[in-house]
Structure 1
């Protein structure tokens, strides 16, 4: 069993995890999804149709092939397109403020919102959003805010077929629905990386899928 003994950072992650969980459980229109070993919620109609359309237009304007923090040698691992949404656009500020208000996490702990587009056949194979601490990139992540805690993902459109977000270890599969927000904790109840948070963006079979993702860090993002 995981513990937090001797690890102040894990103790903080445990506290913020429990605090956000209880906050979201009390939020109207937010439902906790039954899941094995994972705290995960859906907030229905979190964005309006107009807000989704505005963000989609910005993703289409700036999208480029998606990258990976660390290459694994599989060219088919992540085949989507993505972009960092600019806070000079009022709609992005409005969306970010709504996400921050839902989680209650200090805004400075949040990374820049990333927009993503999946055409037919494109996917993001199973991965974790938390940082693996035995990697070359870990020291850089430590200096820029430390471990990722919560992930907020918003579906910007309905998808004709495919494109579900799948958590194979937690036994959860979520179909994209325009305006719905998906929120989950990448840490377990002890503030340690939670392997039940493994998830994938399944291949789109028909249509195009648009989402945005915002990650939160244990410390202010971009600072030591």
Structure 2
């Protein structure tokens, strides 16, 4: 399966979103670029405080179920975490989402509902991309749901004793969970085509439990 060889019908929209987010983040003194010339990855320390992280963890524990993945033809188990969408109408969730929307400068309506994820010892999410494969059967529905994904925003909710990194497998970059830290990346190249160097994995947790939330943005209004 190649994302690069698949049609890219949202290329122009993704180019525009990427350019806007790039300008916004690179001008923000709170935001650090992670060094690589092959992908656009940013980091923000202490995006959520300790109390906000604790509240988000409680929400995840109330909704988490065994995680699923979209069918890309894999026959082995690819994702062993628990996950679940948080309650989009909850005032606390709306406050967190508004903070992410403002940082990125993307309309709220373009973002999917935040998904919470919990990884116990030994659990992982093997290497994957957040983009949709436009040759897959599910793409017909995703076109109606807002098209291709543009930006991923992931917040680490706790420190993990050992393991549980977010590893960009083609780049040799591994980000260790740090409570309250926000990791952001553009899933596409500057021209709006898929960037396969955003391939990433949630590596197995060796000690402790890992909690994160992830918000994906589309190329236009979601849903």
Same-fold call, TM cutoff 0.5: yes
Structure 2 partner of 1:47: 48
Structure 2 partner of 1:214: 215
Per the TM alignment, residue 170 of structure 1 is displaced from its structure 2 partner at its CA by: 2.4
Q: How does 1:59-138 map to 2 (within 5 A)?
A: 59-70=60-71, 72-75=74-77, 77-138=78-139
Structure 2 partner of 1:186: 187
Structure 2 partner of 1:31: 32
166 and 36 in structure 1: CA distance in 2 versus 1, 3 angstrom threshold: farther
Q: How many residues align?
A: 215
Following the alignment from structure 2 to structure 1, what is the Cα–Cα distance between the partners of residues 74 and 81? 16
Following the alignment from structure 1 to structure 2, what is the Cα–Cα distance between the partners of residues 105 and 8? 20
- Please list the CA deviations of residues 101-156 of structure 1 after superposition, one character each: whole Å capped at 9, or x if unmatched: 11110110000000000000000000000111111111111111100000000000
Structure 1 partner of 2:4: none
Contact 1:36 1:196 in 2 (8 A): no
Following the alignment from structure 2 to structure 1, what is the Cα–Cα distance between the partners of residues 76 and 36? 29
Per the TM alignment, residue 36 of structure 1 is displaced from its structure 2 partner at its CA by: 4.0
Structure 1 partner of 2:12: 11
Structure 2 partner of 1:155: 156
- Please list the CA deviations of residues 191-217 of structure 1 after superposition, one character each: whole Å capped at 9, or x if unmatched: 011101100000000000000000000
Structure 1 partner of 2:22: 21
Following the alignment from structure 2 to structure 1, what is the Cα–Cα distance between the partners of residues 12 and 89? 36
